[in-house]
């Protein structure tokens, strides 16, 4: 039997434990988590009986194995929820699925509504070719955007950066309007300093062509989901009590399968012998003591910068030290609004309120607004 020590009880650490425990006769699993709660940056914070996400998470993957795994942990909504009924939302529900008004362990099906706030107006995200878009952009800007897109069809740029990647797919005008400022706010770097590979991974199939294709598919009655493009999906899953609930459910499952989860345990030292990690030392906030844990296999999901810093420095190659020290990390502030009562409006009211109620995300491209994203599920 091998002893596996996992650092971190976020999605990666918990999922690794789950996979290992499929062979529980071969592995003993211990997880060390710095915080007193699981879920990492996908956790949901409970405050005065309210639950708030650290960044709204949607659950959608093109990989069926992942979807199946999540569905096994939490069954999918099969009946409309209270807010679905109140808002008159219609969506494809799971046949034989769970009633969210009766069960708490359920993945709600949410409809994706995203918009971009720019020029003090709201644009569909991904951008759609409709009258409002042209009215919002103004006639002159629309013509300019059209010509700049045509130019990129003829003169393709060599893709050295994310900027080139976007311009090749949208043209310079649309790129400046919808991607440039937002990307810089999000990553703290101008798209010209970010590798084109990043675009290939995150927004692979997104382009004017994909937007048009999606539009025509919808018009011909074909389901959007068939495009398979992550940025264009219309429905996603969302645990009834927020993303953290899924990881709480998974933590319960692995503990019942035999894992030991030690919360409030901050790993501070990684001990290496003969080129191999042999133990870790951690500050156990429950006892106030520094404790040592030996193991055969170590899996880390802690930040790489901290991991390398916790190793005996004389044993770390200079190049690795330089790379780890140079890794930039972004601060992230979430502001949750605690309201006394949610004033859900019916379908007719939403039409008149348009801009406020239905959005899941508002991407704030407007340069003078420092906020990046407004989330509401
Ligand atoms: C705003 C925002 C929105 C997002 N939206 C989505 C989305 O819609 N869909 C999606 O799939 N993903 C989304 N993500 C990404 C998702 O949150 C991450 O990919 C995921 O949480 C990464 O999991 P992880 O386990 O690798 O790391 P983490 O979640 O960071 O977990 C690492 C864990 O390790 C612990 N740890 C760190 N250092 C130590 C140490 N020294 N000792 C012990 N424990 C330690 C931490 O406390 C934490 O619990 C979003 C992220 C953000 C910030």
- pLDDT for the residue numbered 194: 93
Q: In ligand 1, which atom is closest to the CA atom of 32?
A: 43
Same domain? 118 vs 207? yes
- Nearest atom in ligand 1 to the alpha carbon of residue 55 is 1
> Over 70: is that where the pLDDT of 347 sits?
no
Residue 82 located in a structural domain: no
Q: Are residues 209 and 356 in the same domain?
A: yes
Query: Which residues surround ligand 1 with Cβ inside 6 Å?
Result: 7-13, 32-35, 40-42, 55, 57-58, 266-267, 301-302, 306, 332
Count: domains in the chain: 2
Where residue 224 falls among pLDDT bands split at 50, 70, 90? very low
Q: Are residues 200 and 254 in the same domain?
A: no
Average pLDDT of the residues in 299-325: 94
Question: How remote is the CA of residue 267 from the centroid of ligand 1, in Å?
Answer: 16
pLDDT in tens, 12-24: 999 999 999 999 9
Going by alpha carbons, the residue nearest to atom 27 of ligand 1 is: 10
Q: What pLDDT is attached to residue 371?
A: 62
Question: Is residue 32 a part of any domain in this protein?
Answer: yes
27 and 157, same domain (yes or no): no
If asked whether residues 290 and 349 sit together in one domain, one would say: no
Residue 321, exposed/middle/buried by CB under 10 A (0-12, 13-18, 19+)? middle
pLDDT band, residue 1 (cuts 50/70/90): very high
Measured distance CA(182)–CA(176) in Å, rounded: 9
Find the 40 Cα to ligand 1 centroid distance in Å. Answer: 4
Mean pLDDT, residues 69-96 taken together: 90
**Ligand 1: centre distance to CA 334 (Å):** 14
Q: Tally the residues of the chain.
A: 377
Mean pLDDT value of segment 153-168 = 92
Atom from ligand 1 closest to the CA of residue 15? 25
Q: Which of 290, 231, 224, 235 is nearest to 77 (CA)?
A: 235
**Nearest C-alpha to atom 29 of ligand 1 is from which residue?**
40
Query: What spacing in Å lies between the alpha carbon of 39 and ligand 1's midpoint?
Result: 7
209 shares a domain with 355: yes
Q: Are 21 and 313 in contact (CB under 8 A)?
A: no
How far, in Å, from the CA of 246 to the mean position of ligand 1? 13
Higher pLDDT, 87 or 326: 326
- The CATH number of whichever domain residue 303 belongs to comes to 3.50.50.60
- Residue 97 in any domain: the answer is no
Q: Quick one: which atom of ligand 1 is closest to the CA of 332?
A: 53
Residue 246 and residue 225 share a domain = no
Residue 298 lies in a domain: yes
> Is there a single domain that holds both residue 17 and residue 43?
yes
pLDDT of residue 100: 96
The pairing of beta strand 27-32 with beta strand 2-7: parallel
Mean pLDDT of the chain: 86
Q: What is the pLDDT of residue 228?
A: 47
Q: Tell whether 177 and 141 lie within a shared domain.
A: yes
Probe residue for ligand 1, chosen from 301, 309, 377 as the CB with the greatest number of ligand atoms within 8 Å: 301
**pLDDT above 90 coverage of the chain, percent:** 51
Who has greater pLDDT, 156 or 341? 156
What is the per-residue pLDDT for 116?
84
> Does 208 score more than 80 pLDDT?
no
Burial 93-118 (b: 16+ CB within 10 A, else e): bbeebbebeeeebbbbbbebebbbbb
User: Is residue 258 a part of any domain in this protein?
Assistant: yes
Residues 227 and 246 in one domain: no
Q: State the residue range of the domain holding 206.
A: 114-233+345-375
The residue whose CA is least distant from atom 52 of ligand 1 is 55
Question: Do 15 and 41 lie in a common domain?
Answer: yes
Which tokens hold the place of 267?
């790993």
* Confidence category of residue 88, pLDDT binned at 50, 70, 90: confident
Same domain assignment for residues 172 and 281? no
In a domain, 207, yes or no: yes
Give nearest CA residue, ligand 1 atom 38: 302
Quote the ligand 1 centre to 359 CA distance (angstroms). Answer: 24
Tell whether 41 is covered by a domain.
Answer: yes
Q: Does residue 340 fall inside a structural domain?
A: no
């Amino acid at each position: 039997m091998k002893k596996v020590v996992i650092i971190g009880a976020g999605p990666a650490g918990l999922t690794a434990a789950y996979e290992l425990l499929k062979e529980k006769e071969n592995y003993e699993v211990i997880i060390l988590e710095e915080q007193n709660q699981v879920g990492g940056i996908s956790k949901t914070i409970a405050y005065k009986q309210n639950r708030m996400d650290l960044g709204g998470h949607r659950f959608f993957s093109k990989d069926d194995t992942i979807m199946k795994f999540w569905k096994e942990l939490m069954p999918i909504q099969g009946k409309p929820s209270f807010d679905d009924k109140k808002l008159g939302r219609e969506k494809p529900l799971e046949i034989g699925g769970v009633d969210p008004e009766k069960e708490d362990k359920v993945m709600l099906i949410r409809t994706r509504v995203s918009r971009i706030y720019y020029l003090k107006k709201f644009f569909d995200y991904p951008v759609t070719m409709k009258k409002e878009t042209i009215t919002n952009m103004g006639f002159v800007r629309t013509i300019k955007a059209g010509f700049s897109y045509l130019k990129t069809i003829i003169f393709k740029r060599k893709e050295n950066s994310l900027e080139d990647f976007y311009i090749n797919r949208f043209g310079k005008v649309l790129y400046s309007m919808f991607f440039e400022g937002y990307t810089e706010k999000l990553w703290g770097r101008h798209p010209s300093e970010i590798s084109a590979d990043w675009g290939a991974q995150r927004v692979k199939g997104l382009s004017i062509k994909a937007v048009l294709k999606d539009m025509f598919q919808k018009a011909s009655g074909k389901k959007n989901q068939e495009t398979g493009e992550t940025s264009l999906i219309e429905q996603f899953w969302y645990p009834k009590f927020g993303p953290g609930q899924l990881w709480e459910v998974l933590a319960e499952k692995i503990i019942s399968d035999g894992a030991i989860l030690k919360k409030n345990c901050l790993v501070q030292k990684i001990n290496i012998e003969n080129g191999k990690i042999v133990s870790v030392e951690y500050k156990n906030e429950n006892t106030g003591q520094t404790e040592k844990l030996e193991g055969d296999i170590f899996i880390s999901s802690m930040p790489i910068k901290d991991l390398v810093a916790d190793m005996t420095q004389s044993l770390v190659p200079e190049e690795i030290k330089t790379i780890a020290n140079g890794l930039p990390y972004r601060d992230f502030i979430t502001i949750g609004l605690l309201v006394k009562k949610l004033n859900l409006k019916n379908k007719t009211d939403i039409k008149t309120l348009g801009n406020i109620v239905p959005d899941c995300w508002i991407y704030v491209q407007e340069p003078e607004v420092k906020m990046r994203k407004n989330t509401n599920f």
